[in-house]
Structure 1
Amino acid sequence: MFTLKTLINVYKEAILDGDEKTISEVESMISIVENEKNELAQKLSTFSAEINSGKEKYIRLQADFDNFRKRSEKERLTIRSDAQGEVIESLLPMVDSFERAKQQVMPETEKEKMIDTSYQGIYKQFVEILRSLRVAAVPTVGKPFDPSVHEAIGRAESQEYREGIVIQEFRRGFIIGDRLIRPAMVKVSTGPGKRKPTVATEKSTTVAGLDDR
């Protein structure tokens, strides 16, 4: 089979010799070679396009997979957070009971004091478990009223706190991370009003360990 270079040399000699037959044959062969070249170029172009399309599909597939992985992780964390929140919420009445007992029980005898110490030790362990789960008490007295974490069940004048500040807590509120588990029930100041001879400052109970954030 003639190479393109050989055909060109034969073509030149045919032109110099005036060999019309050879010139026609060579031109025909050159045309065939040119057509094959164009076909190969077209196939190469198509193949390159397919490669680029494959790369784009791979990139899209990779992006879809990354998005799926992120969604799955987010859903997993949400499910876990919801489950934790439900469990902790079910335990909050126990916290309330511990706090009420702490305020109401006044041990007098040595035996009662020993029982109270044991009781408070159990409560301390319970609080440590809650803290390990990132549970914290919602700040209340002295803080601005925040409807996202506070539930106002009363308003009253206060010489100590300006309007809009929480002055009393009726029930503790709790959060886990940035999520509210239960709002705190509070009373909110309406401002000083008329000054009275004596003012009894209302304080809230404290959940040991959960107030330190």
Structure 2
Amino acid sequence: MAKEQQNTQEPLEGVQDAVDTAVEAGAAEPQAADDTQADVLQQLEESRAEVDALQKELAELQPRAQAEIQNIRRRAEQDVEKAHKFGLEKFANELLPVVDSLERAIEASQGEGEQLQAIREGVEMTLNLFLSSMEKFNVEQVNPEGQPFNPEHHQAMSMVPAEGVAPNTVVTVVQKGYLLNGRLMRPAMVMVAKS
């Protein structure tokens, strides 16, 4: 019987060892689970911080992007407006020599005689009709005779002595200038009084 008791104790000791090993392993698992859970929580907090930073950056960039879109729209509208306003510039520039020729014809017909007078009146009427047509499209004539010299709208051909005229005053207009919607198409070529 003592032998049987000894045989039953040996398997019990083996079981006890297995239980002790399992308890030790079980005690280690909760600690590993706690470590894993802490790592996950830390990563979650880092992700939240990144999301918050990105949302803040987006909130800062959004007004800037809207302002840039407004600027692009405004520039496009200005370009379209300029295209409408100054689209006729080349056409109007081509017509200016016609006006010049009509004016020269009027000047050349200065003289006596009914035929010359009739030609002159016809050319004057044509010129006036032509100038009024150009005014409809905002083409203005610059005829600065007797006015102070303006380098923005006038081109001085020469300076001449002139009595009774203030210095830097336009004495003679050699060729009239023109503006399209306030923008200079061609400067007036003038002679200016010396000081």
**Does the 8 Å contact 2:168/2:194 carry over to 1?**
yes
Structure-2 residue corresponding to 1:6? none
Structure-1 residue corresponding to 2:161? 157
SS at match of 1:140: coil
Matched, 1:147 2:151: yes
Q: How does 1:107-126 map to 2 (within 5 A)?
A: 108=114, 112=118, 116-117=121-122, 119-126=123-130
Structure-1 residue corresponding to 2:178? 174
Shift, 1:85, TM fit? 2.1
How far apart, in 1, do the equivalents of 2:47 and 2:156 lie? Answer: 76
How far apart, in 1, do the equivalents of 2:43 and 2:121 lie? Answer: 95
Shift, 1:55, TM fit? 2.9
Structure-1 residue corresponding to 2:189? 185
**Does the 8 Å contact 2:142/2:177 carry over to 1?**
yes
How far apart, in 2, do the equivalents of 1:66 and 1:82 lie? Answer: 24
Gaps of 5+ in 1: 1-33, 192-213
Q: Percent identity?
A: 25
Shift, 1:41, TM fit? 7.0
How far apart, in 1, do the equivalents of 2:133 and 2:41 lie? Answer: 77
Assess, with a 3 A threshold, how the Cα gap between structure 1 residues 55 and 128 changes in structure 2: closer, same or farther.
farther
Q: How does 1:1-213 map to 2 (within 5 A)?
A: 46-81=50-85, 83-105=87-109, 108=114, 112=118, 116-117=121-122, 119-191=123-195
How far apart, in 1, do the equivalents of 2:156 and 2:39 lie? Answer: 87
How far apart, in 2, do the equivalents of 1:108 and 1:155 lie? Answer: 38
Normalising by structure 1, report the TM-score. 0.58
Shift, 1:44, TM fit? 5.6
How far apart, in 1, do the equivalents of 2:118 and 2:86 lie? Answer: 40
How far apart, in 2, do the equivalents of 1:82 and 1:88 lie? Answer: 10
How far apart, in 2, do the equivalents of 1:97 and 1:139 lie? Answer: 16
The residue type equivalent to 2:140 in the other structure is A
Shift, 1:53, TM fit? 2.7
Give the structure with the larger helix fraction.
Answer: 2
Bigger radius of gyration, 1 or 2? 2
Gaps of 5+ in 2: 1-37
**Does the 8 Å contact 2:169/2:193 carry over to 1?**
yes
How far apart, in 2, do the equivalents of 1:52 and 1:102 lie? Answer: 75
The residue type equivalent to 1:75 in the other structure is D
